[in-house]
Amino acid sequence: MNDVKIDRAAMGRLAKALTFICGSNHPTTVALKAAAESGLDRDIKTARTLFMRMKPGDRQAAFSMLAD
Protein backbone atom coordinates (compact mmCIF):
# COMPACT_ATOMS: atom_id res chain seq x y z
CA MET A 1 0.00 0.00 0.00
CA ASN A 2 2.92 2.37 0.57
CA ASP A 3 3.79 2.22 -3.15
CA VAL A 4 0.40 3.49 -4.31
CA LYS A 5 0.64 6.64 -6.42
CA ILE A 6 -2.39 8.88 -6.14
CA ASP A 7 -2.65 11.54 -8.83
CA ARG A 8 -4.36 14.88 -8.43
CA ALA A 9 -7.63 13.77 -10.03
CA ALA A 10 -7.77 10.65 -7.87
CA MET A 11 -7.28 12.77 -4.77
CA GLY A 12 -10.34 14.77 -5.72
CA ARG A 13 -12.38 11.58 -6.15
CA LEU A 14 -11.03 10.20 -2.86
CA ALA A 15 -12.04 13.42 -1.12
CA LYS A 16 -15.61 12.95 -2.38
CA ALA A 17 -15.63 9.34 -1.17
CA LEU A 18 -14.25 10.32 2.23
CA THR A 19 -16.88 13.04 2.54
CA PHE A 20 -19.43 10.24 2.49
CA ILE A 21 -17.42 7.89 4.74
CA CYS A 22 -15.91 10.28 7.31
CA GLY A 23 -17.59 13.63 6.75
CA SER A 24 -16.57 16.85 5.09
CA ASN A 25 -14.78 18.21 8.16
CA HIS A 26 -12.50 15.18 8.63
CA PRO A 27 -8.83 16.30 8.42
CA THR A 28 -8.02 13.77 5.69
CA THR A 29 -10.98 14.88 3.58
CA VAL A 30 -9.95 18.52 3.92
CA ALA A 31 -6.31 17.70 3.07
CA LEU A 32 -7.29 15.68 -0.01
CA LYS A 33 -9.53 18.50 -1.26
CA ALA A 34 -6.71 21.01 -0.77
CA ALA A 35 -4.21 18.78 -2.57
CA ALA A 36 -6.57 18.20 -5.48
CA GLU A 37 -7.20 21.91 -5.85
CA SER A 38 -3.66 23.23 -5.41
CA GLY A 39 -1.51 20.39 -6.75
CA LEU A 40 1.34 21.59 -4.53
CA ASP A 41 3.85 18.93 -3.45
CA ARG A 42 3.46 19.98 0.18
CA ASP A 43 -0.33 19.53 0.08
CA ILE A 44 -0.05 16.20 -1.74
CA LYS A 45 2.44 14.88 0.81
CA THR A 46 0.23 15.95 3.72
CA ALA A 47 -2.88 14.41 2.15
CA ARG A 48 -1.10 11.15 1.39
CA THR A 49 0.30 10.92 4.91
CA LEU A 50 -3.10 11.50 6.49
CA PHE A 51 -4.73 9.02 4.13
CA MET A 52 -2.17 6.33 4.97
CA ARG A 53 -2.78 6.90 8.70
CA MET A 54 -6.49 6.18 8.33
CA LYS A 55 -7.94 2.87 9.44
CA PRO A 56 -7.42 0.24 6.74
CA GLY A 57 -11.16 -0.35 6.50
CA ASP A 58 -11.83 3.31 5.77
CA ARG A 59 -9.08 3.40 3.14
CA GLN A 60 -10.45 0.28 1.49
CA ALA A 61 -13.99 1.69 1.53
CA ALA A 62 -12.76 4.83 -0.22
CA PHE A 63 -10.93 2.83 -2.88
CA SER A 64 -13.99 0.63 -3.35
CA MET A 65 -16.13 3.70 -3.98
CA LEU A 66 -13.67 4.78 -6.70
CA ALA A 67 -13.98 1.41 -8.45
CA ASP A 68 -17.74 1.79 -8.92
Handedness of CA 34, 45, 62, 30 (dihedral sign): negative
Domain carrying residue 35 = 8-67
In a domain, 1, yes or no: no
Within a domain: 2: no
Domain count for the chain: 1
CA gap 58, 42 in Å, rounded:
23
pTM above 0.95, yes or no: no
pLDDT in tens, 3-58: 556 778 889 999 999 999 999 999 999 999 999 999 999 999 999 999 999 999 99
